[in-house]
């Protein structure tokens, strides 16, 4: 017992276990982040010129505005599609539940590159979508579905939907079915039960999913870079271009710092407005 109390709670061994990961993260992640910030104000010259370039309304401001626009549109679509899937995954018959679960989990585990590639095959100008529409004579000229915002949004929505389902389904699963039955027993038809009871009770999950998907979309890199084909440049791809093609490290670093601040603001705002304790915790 003496040994146990010496090595027990708060002992040296326990403290070493606890602090290894935070100390490593501090040295290998937080300290280099200070280095990135120093790049952003010293490359190529000392000052806030790079930040000014991002905020002053020029080409880089446009990249940020385009990113926000695409992120908001694809988040809204993702939540609609994800809600529909979550509802039937949680409330549907057992067969429906199993089928939907399989359809949600298969893309979830498949690499983002493979999924973007699949959409490239479908949406490029001589791809499957145009081929099908022309063969059925619905259109006579190929539609411009590749390398534009449409393709980027389709690919992003496809990537996000499985992620959006999990927080929504978790909240829906906790809704007490007896409340729904009680409302029905008191004379409400299914549509009213859904609108007045189910929908309000599932809103915390919808908000959590919305914030998570929005944060993901704002920082998206792979899907826009492949499906946008260099024509729909979002912030993350612009950072890559600045670092490795125009080698303007200062601008790349400044953009990545602004992106981080933007995402911090989104999460902070959501926390304040919606009280998303469950999302942060």
Partner 1 sequence: MMFGRSRLGGVLAYLAAAFLLLPLAAVIPVSFTAKRFLSMPNGEWSLRHYRSLFEDGAWLSSIGTSVSIALMSSVLATALAIMFGLGLWLGRPRVGAFLVGFALLPMVVPPVTSAIILYFLLARLGLLDTIPGLVIGHAIMTMPFAVVAMLSAFAKLDRGLDMAARNLGASTGQSIFLVVLPNLKTGTLSAWFLTFMLSWEETTVTLFTSGVEVITLPKRIWDNLRLNVDPVIAAISVVMVVLTTVVIITRALARHRLSPSG
Site for partner 1 in 155-194 (CB under 8 A): 158, 161-162, 177, 180-181, 184, 190, 193-194
H helix runs in 219-248, sequence order: 222-227, 235-244
In this structure, what token pair is assigned to residue 26? 């501090």
The least CB distance from residue 6 to partner 1, in Å, is 9
Binding of partner 1 by 57 (CB under 8 A): no
Judge contact between 276 and 208, C-beta under 8 A. Answer: yes
Map the footprint of partner 1 across residues 222-281, applying CB under 8 A: 222, 225-226, 235-236, 239-240, 243-244, 252-253, 256-257, 259-260, 263, 267, 280
Q: CB nearer to partner 1: give 150 or 198.
A: 198
Run of H or E including 22: helix 12-25
**Binding window for partner 1 (CB under 8 A); candidates: 18-26, 46-54, 135-143, 144-152:** 18-26
Say how far apart CA 75 and CA 93 lie, in whole Å. 28
Name which position in 42, 55, 107, 148 contacts partner 1 (CB under 8 A).
Answer: 107
The least CB distance from residue 245 to partner 1, in Å, is 12
Q: Tell the residue number behind the tokens 């690919």, with chain if given.
A: 155
Name which position in 65, 76, 110, 139 contacts partner 1 (CB under 8 A).
Answer: 110
Map the footprint of partner 1 across residues 117-146, applying CB under 8 A: 117-122, 128, 131
Name which position in 29, 135, 200, 277 contacts partner 1 (CB under 8 A).
Answer: 29
Judge contact between 249 and 243, C-beta under 8 A. Answer: yes
Name which position in 60, 71, 156, 218 contacts partner 1 (CB under 8 A).
Answer: 218
The least CB distance from residue 45 to partner 1, in Å, is 19
Q: CB nearer to partner 1: give 208 or 235.
A: 235
Count of residues that bind partner 1 according to CB under 8 A: 99
Run of H or E including 255: helix 249-274
The least CB distance from residue 162 to partner 1, in Å, is 7
Name which position in 142, 221, 271, 278 contacts partner 1 (CB under 8 A).
Answer: 221
Name which position in 70, 104, 153, 211 contacts partner 1 (CB under 8 A).
Answer: 104
H helix runs in 92-227, sequence order: 94-109, 112-123, 128-135, 149-174, 177-185, 190-193, 199-218, 222-227
Q: CB nearer to partner 1: give 44 or 190.
A: 190
DSSP conformation class of 136: T
Say how far apart CA 100 and CA 111 lie, in whole Å. 20
Question: Residues near 118 by Cβ (< 8 Å), separated by ≥ 6?
Answer: none
Judge contact between 104 and 89, C-beta under 8 A. Answer: yes
The least CB distance from residue 139 to partner 1, in Å, is 18
The least CB distance from residue 222 to partner 1, in Å, is 5
SS3 of residue 54 by DSSP: helix
In this structure, what token pair is assigned to residue 233? 């440049």
Say how far apart CA 163 and CA 167 lie, in whole Å. 8
Map the footprint of partner 1 across residues 196-215, applying CB under 8 A: 198, 215
């Amino acid at each position: 017992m003496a040994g146990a109390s010496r090595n027990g709670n708060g002992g040296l061994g326990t403290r070493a276990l606890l602090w290894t990961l935070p100390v490593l993260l501090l040295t290998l992640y937080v300290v280099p982040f200070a280095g990135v910030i120093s790049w952003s104000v010293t490359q190529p010259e000392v000052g806030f010129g790079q930040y000014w370039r991002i905020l002053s309304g020029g080409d880089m401001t446009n990249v940020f505005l385009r990113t926000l626009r695409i992120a908001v549109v694809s988040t809204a679509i993702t939540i609609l599609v994800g809600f529909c899937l979550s509802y039937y995954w949680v409330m549907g018959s057992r067969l429906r539940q199993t089928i939907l679960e399989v359809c949600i989990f298969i893309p979830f585990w498949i690499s983002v590159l493979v999924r973007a590639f699949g959409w490239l095959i479908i949406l490029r100008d001589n791809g499957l979508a145009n081929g099908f529409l022309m063969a059925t004579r619905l259109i006579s000229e190929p539609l411009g579905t590749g390398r534009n915002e449409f393709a980027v949004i389709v690919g992003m929505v496809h990537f996000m939907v499985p992620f959006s389902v999990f927080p929504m389904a978790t909240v829906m699963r906790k809704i007490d079915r007896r409340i729904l039955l009680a409302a029905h027993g008191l004379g409400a038809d299914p549509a009213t039960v859904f609108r007045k009871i189910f929908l309000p009770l599932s809103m915390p999950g919808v908000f959590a999913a919305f914030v998570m998907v929005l944060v993901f979309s704002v920082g998206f890199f792979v899907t826009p870079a492949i499906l946008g084909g260099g024509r729909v440049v979002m912030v993350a791809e612009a950072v890559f271009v600045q670092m490795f093609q125009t080698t303007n490290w200062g601008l790349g670093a400044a953009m990545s710092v602004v992106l981080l601040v933007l995402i911090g603001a989104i999460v902070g705002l959501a926390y304040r407005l919606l009280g998303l304790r469950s999302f942060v915790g």
